[in-house]
Structure 1
Amino acid sequence: MANQIYVGVDLGGTSIKVGLCDENGQLLHKYEGPTLSEEGAEAVLDRIADYCRKAVEEAGYAWEQVAGVGAGIAGFLNIREGIVELSANLGWRDVPVKKSLEEKLGKTVKIDNDANVAALGEAWGGAGKGISNLICYTLGTGVGGGIILNGRIYQGFKGMAGELGHMSVVPDIEAIQCSCGQFGCLETVSSATGIIRMAKNAVERGEHTSLALLPKITAKDVFEAASAHDETAQRIVSRAAYYLGRSMAHLAAMLNPERFIVGGGVSHAGELLFVPVRETFDKYAPAPLKADVDIVPATLGNDAGCIGAAGLNLF
């Protein structure tokens, strides 16, 4: 049994996940409970403190063995001060999470963006273990990301680095407006939302595709249709993969990572997605910057957030 443990909190709009990790990033125990954000920020922070203590107790550790607590939160954060400036998921504005949880738990608390801590989780105990320079994509409803440079999360000027989904990669003639207000963002083509949009547009244009027979199209449906040699679905997957690979080539030129890790629901498409992504990356990345660089799926799944949050006090 570990002498010291690190507690990580993955705070979502629906649920709060708490993970206990040892110093090597191994997940020792998990606890999960509802967020109930409608009860207000203070009630949620009380709930987080309660869940942390319950997780430690359930795992058979003493509270004195906790070396630090970290929390991953979606939204705009003042990471250095530990304040959630705005979180639409939680309905929070200017909530001093660090100060409040330190008072409730009697431990050092650090916070970071949910995508950053997921990247740190993969770097510490997942697909990036042992690699100091990597970039992690999360392909879900949107496209999130995190950048690890020299073994540490790269946060940028205001702690907002790693917004990979908002790189402009689609040319103007093909670009549509993103939820961020700009045009041509990666998120518009390589997220589940973007893939579904392209599929619906194809059906509305009257293209001959099995997707037209479905009452509601999901990204999984598109990948399954592509596997079954549906030409429309194959074209959509190819487009999503192409721009994802192009974005990686841009990042390779700027940051020279050793590995790209891709997680989130869309990554479950497997080699149907990864093969064309790798081909595009190989085509567009400068030769010296693509040598020995690999593109791999994430391995931690939904545990990446709480594992990475636990690591905030080590990295």
Structure 2
Amino acid sequence: MNNNYVIGADIGGSHITAALVDLANGAVADSSKYKEPVNAGADARDILTRWTKAIGHVLTAANGEVAAIGIAMPGPFDYPEGISLIKGVAKYESLYGMNIRAALKASLSFDGGIYFENDASCFALGEAWAGEGAGCSRMVAVTLGTGLGGTFLHNNIILHEGKGIPPEGYIYHLPYKAGIAEDYISSRWLLNEYQQRTGQRLNEVKNIADLAEQQDAIALALFAEMGHSLGEVLAPWLKDFAAERLVIGGNIRKAHPYFLPALQACLQQNNINTTVHISNRGENSALSGAAWICKSILVTNNNAR
């Protein structure tokens, strides 16, 4: 192994995945991938021990010869400084105010750089580099899951302001109907709405998708409504940004046969020519995106010498 590789890590609410990523093309070395379960409500020591175990496993397999470590991290988080600002969301609250970079450097005995970026943004960067957005100049990536992630990219650069960019570059908080977009486009909405309409509480969106596959009318209606809502939220921004592609990821993407037609119909009604693509890389996109952050910083540092 040599410095043509970095470690990409993706931190979720229940696990961490780490793997080697090729800096030449963003390809994830699947044979190096290591996943470790994490209790997001545990104390700081337990969480950091598990994160260290996963990243350390890959680092050891590479004989320590990697150029950097990139981590896709949920927010709120001070990404440049590596400090966790997560609180009030029932996950990783024990890490609030902690310098995660310093903690991991110490626990891994790693002298190289450790860099952080928002998990949804890493998904977008990974898709732009090695996925459905490859070769595209202006791309919007959306992650559909527990929440609603959105990232606007121009030539693989994350945008937080400018023409066609919503406030802070995010979409979850955009005003919509009686609340915000995330209230109507998320697993929470699907599960709550299904319960309201049937009186039955399901455990996960996959249960609703299974019902949709069986042509259950309520399940089909819910996905269609969510797809239409996503189209209404995105349409003005896709138009103003002149987005070439919309790439959709997140766990709910697996139910795209049931929400994609309504989304595309809404975009067509609004004269939006952006093509819609469904990611098929899973968490590999977040791993590639975390590696892209490393690559960008390494190139900048080398040019500065």
- Give yes or no for the alignment of 1:294 onto 2:275: yes
- What CA distance in whole angstroms lies between the structure 1 residues aligned with 2:101 and 2:138? 28
Mean CA deviation greater in 294-303 or 100-109: 100-109
Q: How many Å apart are 1:21 and its aligned residue?
A: 0.4
- Number of paired residues? 284
What SS does the corresponding residue of 2:263 show, helix, strand or coil?
helix
Give the unaligned 5+ runs of structure 2.
297-305
Q: How many Å apart are 1:111 and its aligned residue?
A: 0.7
Q: Report the counterpart of residue 169 of structure 1 in structure 2.
A: 176
Q: Report the counterpart of residue 111 of structure 2 in structure 1.
A: 106
- What CA distance in whole angstroms lies between the structure 2 residues aligned with 1:12 and 1:51? 13
Please tell me the root mean square deviation across aligned C-alpha atoms, in Å.
2.7
- Give yes or no for the alignment of 1:34 onto 2:37: yes
Instruction: Please give the residue correspondences for 1:227-306 in structure 2 after superposition, counting only pairs within 5 Å.
Output: 227-285=213-271, 290-291=272-273, 293-306=274-287
Q: Report the counterpart of residue 299 of structure 2 in structure 1.
A: none
- Give yes or no for the alignment of 1:129 onto 2:134: yes
Q: How many Å apart are 1:70 and its aligned residue?
A: 1.0
Instruction: Please give the residue correspondences for 1:201-220 in structure 2 after superposition, counting only pairs within 5 Å.
Output: 201-204=196-199, 216=202, 218-220=204-206
- Give yes or no for the alignment of 1:150 onto 2:155: yes
Over residues 15-44 of structure 1, what are the superposed CA-to-partner deviations in whole Å (9 max), with x where a residue is unaligned?
Answer: 221121001110012112233556643554
Over residues 269-294 of structure 1, what are the superposed CA-to-partner deviations in whole Å (9 max), with x where a residue is unaligned?
Answer: 13221111111111114xxxx33x21
Letter in 1 for 2:258: L
- Give yes or no for the alignment of 1:198 onto 2:197: no
Q: How many Å apart are 1:163 and its aligned residue?
A: 3.2
TM-score scaled by structure 1?
Answer: 0.79
Q: Say if 1:69 and 1:310, in contact at 8 Å, map to a contact too.
A: yes
Over residues 212-248 of structure 1, what are the superposed CA-to-partner deviations in whole Å (9 max), with x where a residue is unaligned?
Answer: xx66364334344444444433332221111111122
What SS does the corresponding residue of 1:314 show, helix, strand or coil?
helix
What SS does the corresponding residue of 1:118 show, helix, strand or coil?
helix
Letter in 2 for 1:80: P
Q: Say if 1:2 and 1:22, in contact at 8 Å, map to a contact too.
A: no
Q: Say if 1:84 and 1:95, in contact at 8 Å, map to a contact too.
A: yes
- What CA distance in whole angstroms lies between the structure 1 residues aligned with 2:147 and 2:254? 15
Q: How many Å apart are 1:153 and its aligned residue?
A: 2.2
- What CA distance in whole angstroms lies between the structure 2 residues aligned with 1:239 and 1:250? 18
Q: Report the counterpart of residue 80 of structure 1 in structure 2.
A: 80
Task: Note closer, same or farther for the CA distance 1:218–1:83 as it changes in structure 2 (3 Å cut).
Answer: closer
Q: Report the counterpart of residue 303 of structure 2 in structure 1.
A: none
Mean CA deviation greater in 251-260 or 45-54: 45-54
Letter in 2 for 1:67: A
Instruction: Please give the residue correspondences for 1:57-72 in structure 2 after superposition, counting only pairs within 5 Å.
Output: 57-58=60-61, 61-64=62-65, 66-72=66-72
Mean CA deviation greater in 44-53 or 18-27: 44-53
